[in-house]
């Protein structure tokens, strides 16, 4: 994107330190470069009151590399955030001073309240109209905050980060459960989250979800907006909390450092669930870093839809005409209404995103346009969309390229999409197949294609008279396919005037 200036954020956590270079400050930020180190700064803070000396030495050396990488990536600014361990350790100020000298910029040592706020902003950045409790589990602390749309409610910081809890519990998950229960009792407002979502932020919970994906053989390895049913998967969480990990399918995908903290992460999650009784657990790839970037946006930008913002950018970068893509999004809304198809708010958002992304595979070999498009959408770093929604969008584009009646196309996406979204994708793909043959993928024609309900019960799509030559055998054939999908009497005709 030509209007962007790269920006770097370094997040100094109690367990990990990460550098992320973003393409720019945007509603749906794109990563240019991402690297982390597991320093374990806070692993002995309970007993010594100080940052781990080996972790400090390794971190200081790594900061030189992080600064060089930031400069190499062309970042115009470098923002450094430090969380629980750095703000609480006796030698934290000394460590921060040394780091500032190397990085050449001031480090923001976040208070617990600030950390909770940026965690909440991270969820607002990555989800459309979130509603629930955000939990950000780091190495040193757990931040809990209530979020409803763009409104942030009560928040609290608890000393329940994985490294700290392991040390306080002296390696006993039974002790850890009692400590977590006592600490979580300090947030009585958690019960207000009953029946709402719990948003899981932080590396330990992401690795817990990664393990769950392996155990259940989940078909889409995308972490953001991965959902777990609290009751259905209670046995899994209890098994992890017991530390019964070595024979679990996929445990090798979790680093040994993270593996040691999984029982404590599961223990904290179980205690949150006991106090809150959420309807679902939702994993977030966004956290404090994305929340900090979100705080830099203007209010108008914050209110925009993260999914549609990203889809519009992709259309601008990869479609033959981003204007055509926007026309298609508007026209398919008219088509759904004409055909009597009702949409929820999310249904409409996903349909619009599919239209904006419908032409991103046009440069691929014709035999692979559908597959390439599906892979980009299914595995892309989109936010503001759940996994069934991803499958809906991806399948719609696959149908647009591959045809409507091959039931062997992408069984994994069909499984994720649910039968309702799978059929909705077929319908949307059918509309696209008609529209692209009449527009040649260029703007100007689609807005003039109008629907007309006729006395004989048919529904006609009318081509403007001055574009009558667009009528032909192939558009008529594709309209017949669309009629077969809908079960309606659909015809393609030329307008009288």
**Percentage of the chain lying above the pLDDT 90 cut:** 92
Burial class (CB in 10 A: 0-12, 13-18, 19+), 134: buried
Q: How far apart are CA 1 and CA 24, in angstroms?
A: 9
- Residue reference for tokens 């969380």: 83
Q: What is the pLDDT of residue 406?
A: 85
Q: How far apart are CA 186 and CA 175, in angstroms?
A: 18
pLDDT, one tens digit per residue, over 337-377 is 999 999 999 999 999 999 999 999 999 999 999 999 999 99
Pair 87, 111: CB distance under 8 Å: yes
DSSP 42: T
Average pLDDT over residues 435-442: 96
DSSP 464: P
Pair 279, 195: CB distance under 8 Å: yes
Burial class (CB in 10 A: 0-12, 13-18, 19+), 244: exposed
Which residues neighbour 157 within 8 Å (Cβ) at sequence distance 6 or greater?
Answer: 84, 112, 113, 115, 116, 141, 142, 143
Average pLDDT over residues 234-262: 91
pLDDT, one tens digit per residue, over 415-425 is 999 999 999 99
User: Where are the strands (E) in 204-284, listed by range?
Assistant: 227-228, 280-283
Pair 321, 441: CB distance under 8 Å: yes
What mean pLDDT is reported for the chain? 95
CA dihedral sign, ordered 229, 218, 266, 116: negative
Count of other CB atoms within 10 angstroms of residue 235: 9
pLDDT, one tens digit per residue, over 157-212 is 999 999 999 999 998 999 999 999 999 999 999 999 999 999 999 999 999 999 99
Q: What is the pLDDT of residue 453?
A: 96
């Amino acid at each position: 994107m030509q209007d962007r200036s790269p920006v770097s954020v370094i997040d100094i956590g109690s367990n990990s330190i990460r550098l992320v270079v973003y393409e720019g400050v945007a509603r749906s930020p794109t990563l240019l470069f991402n690297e982390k180190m597991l320093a374990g700064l806070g692993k002995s803070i309970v007993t010594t009151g100080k940052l781990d000396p080996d972790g400090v030495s390794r971190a200081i050396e790594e900061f030189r590399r992080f600064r060089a990488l930031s400069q190499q990536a062309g970042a115009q600014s470098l923002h450094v955030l430090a969380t629980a361990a750095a703000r609480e350790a006796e030698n934290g100020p000394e460590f921060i001073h040394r780091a500032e000298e190397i990085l050449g910029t001031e480090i923001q040592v976040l208070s617990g309240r600030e950390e909770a706020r940026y965690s909440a902003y991270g969820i607002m950045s990555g989800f459309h109209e979130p509603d629930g409790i955000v939990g950000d589990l780091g190495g040193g602390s757990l931040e809990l905050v209530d979020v409803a749309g763009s409104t942030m409610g009560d928040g609290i910081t608890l000393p329940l980060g994985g490294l700290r809890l392991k040390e306080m519990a002296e390696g006993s998950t039974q002790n850890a459960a009692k400590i977590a229960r006592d600490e979580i009792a300090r947030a009585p407002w958690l019960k207000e989250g009953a029946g709402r979502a719990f948003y899981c932020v932080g590396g330990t919970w992401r690795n817990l979800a990664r393990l769950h994906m392996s155990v259940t053989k989940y078909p889409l390895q995308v972490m953001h907006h991965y959902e777990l049913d609290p009751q259905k998967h209670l046995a899994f969480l209890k098994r992890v909390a017991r530390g019964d990990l070595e024979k679990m399918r996929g445990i090798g995908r979790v680093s040994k450092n993270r593996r040691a903290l999984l029982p404590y992460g599961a223990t904290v999650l179980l205690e949150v669930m006991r106090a809150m009784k959420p309807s679902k657990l939702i994993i977030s790839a966004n956290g404090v870093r994305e929340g900090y970037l979100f705080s830099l946006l203007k209010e108008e930008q914050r209110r925009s839809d993260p999914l549609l913002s990203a889809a519009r950018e992709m259309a601008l970068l990869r479609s033959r005409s981003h204007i055509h893509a926007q026309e298609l999004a508007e026209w398919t809304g008219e088509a759904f209404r004409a055909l009597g198809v009702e949409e929820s708010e999310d249904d409409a958002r996903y349909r619009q995103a599919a239209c904006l992304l419908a032409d991103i595979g046009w440069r691929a070999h014709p035999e692979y346009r559908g597959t390439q498009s599906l892979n980009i959408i299914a595995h892309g770093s989109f936010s503001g969309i759940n996994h069934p929604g991803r499958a809906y969008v991806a399948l719609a584009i696959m149908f647009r390229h591959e045809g409507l009646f091959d039931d062997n196309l992408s069984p994994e996406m069909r499984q994720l999409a649910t039968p309702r979204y799978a059929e909705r994708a077929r319908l949307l793909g059918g509309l696209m197949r008609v529209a692209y043959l009449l527009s040649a993928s260029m703007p100007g024609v689609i807005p003039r294609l109008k629907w007309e309900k006729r006395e004989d019960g048919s529904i006609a799509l009318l081509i403007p008279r001055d574009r009558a030559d667009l009528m032909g055998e192939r558009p008529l054939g594709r309209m017949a396919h669309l009629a077969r999908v809908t079960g309606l009497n659909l015809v393609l005709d030329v307008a009288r005037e």
